[in-house]
Homo-oligomer: A and B are copies of this chain.
Amino acid sequence: MQSTSTEPRNNQPSTMHSAPSEAGRQRQGRLWSNLREVCDLLHITAAVSVNSEELLFQHVQFKTGQRVHTIGQAFDTLYIVNSGFLKTVLIDEFGNEQVLSFPMKGDMLGVDGIHTRHYASEAVALSDCDLILLPFKKLTALGRVHMELENVMYGVMSRELVREQAMIGMLGALSAEARVARFLVTLADRFAAMGYSSKLFNLRMTRHEIGSYLGLTLETVSRTLSAFNEIGLITVDQRTIGIKDAEALKTLRRLPPSRSRAKQNSAAKQKAEAGQPGDDQVLATTI
């Protein structure tokens, strides 16, 4: 089914979420997954010994725009994304959204609710989604029997922690161009890991949401994408992104590394390269 890419299952409206695609079996008119399928989804290589056809986890579908959980809501279950795209957000005292992540297939939701027993963030479906429910009580009870599970959980939470650390590092140190470049590269890698094309894909989120996620305004995101397009790093058409030079995007550095170049390329080099027939003056500042 997901042959080419870009669109997993065409988003036909209202059709009971079209194809079940991956894991899961019908029962009582619903999809269920066993522990092995859950671990596969998480990319965790835990040797799940059990014949866990007994241990089944229910799926739930959410349609575009629906909230999976909201801030302050009593916590009782974790979610794993089986298909679809979401965003998680914080809401500040003025009602402004701060996007924290864009979960997709294989990601876990709700971990931030464990501590206080209330979700600390809000999760919203950006497309029709299929999520697997992991009732937390059930999960800890299972831990008693299957110790592998405990390590799976530690691994997932630690992974999420590392991801957030990288995010903090990015927000604290990178320029706008570098943030957008990294965002695109990371997205491409995640699509690749899901079996889709990493060279051509559709953004599921608005410029505003990307900006919030990267600590930028939507205008800056838009301008930066246009600039990347002009110098041939990518192609942009609304939400369709084509990656043309992944290497350049990966190595695009920040402007404020410290004291170093930043002055020398401003005037001195400009005239030296008048022989270039191309049109690459747009990002000349970042080299």
Complex Cα spacing A213 to B116, Å: 25
- Produce 1/0 per residue, A121-160, CB < 8 A to B: 1000000000000000000100110010011011101111
Q: Which chain B residue shows the least CB distance to A165?
A: B100
- How many of A's residues come within 8 Å of B, CB to CB? 44
With contacts A140-B151, A144-B147, A151-B140 taken as known, whether A173 is within 8 angstroms of B114 at the C-beta atoms is no
Q: Are A90 and B212 closer than 8 Å at their CB atoms?
A: no
Q: Smallest Cβ distance from A86 to chain B, in angstroms?
A: 15
Question: Using a CB-CB cutoff of 8 Å, which residues 81-120 of chain A contact chain B?
Answer: 90, 92, 94, 96, 98, 100, 111-116, 120
B contact residues around A258 at 8 Å (CB): 94, 96
B contact residues around A143 at 8 Å (CB): 143, 147, 150
Q: Smallest Cβ distance from A109 to chain B, in angstroms?
A: 12
- Interface: A203 (CB within 8 A): no
Question: Using a CB-CB cutoff of 8 Å, which residues 4-42 of chain A contact chain B?
Answer: none
Q: Smallest Cβ distance from A10 to chain B, in angstroms?
A: 30
CB contact between A162 and one of B96, B112, B214 (< 8 Å): that residue:
B112
- Interface: A169 (CB within 8 A): yes
B contact residues around A166 at 8 Å (CB): 90
Q: Smallest Cβ distance from A43 to chain B, in angstroms?
A: 11
Q: Which chain B residue shows the least CB distance to A98?
A: B169
Q: Are B172 and A171 closer than 8 Å at their CB atoms?
A: yes
B contact residues around A100 at 8 Å (CB): 165, 168-169
With contacts A140-B151, A144-B147, A171-B171 taken as known, whether A161 is within 8 angstroms of B112 at the C-beta atoms is yes
| Given contact pairs A94-B257, A167-B168, a sample of 6 additional A-B residue pairs in the complex whose CB atoms are under 8 Å apart | A90-B169, A111-B158, A114-B154, A114-B158, A143-B150, A168-B171
13 contacts between A and B (CB under 8 A): A90-B166, A94-B258, A100-B169, A115-B155, A120-B162, A120-B165, A121-B165, A140-B150, A160-B161, A164-B164, A164-B167, A168-B168, A172-B214
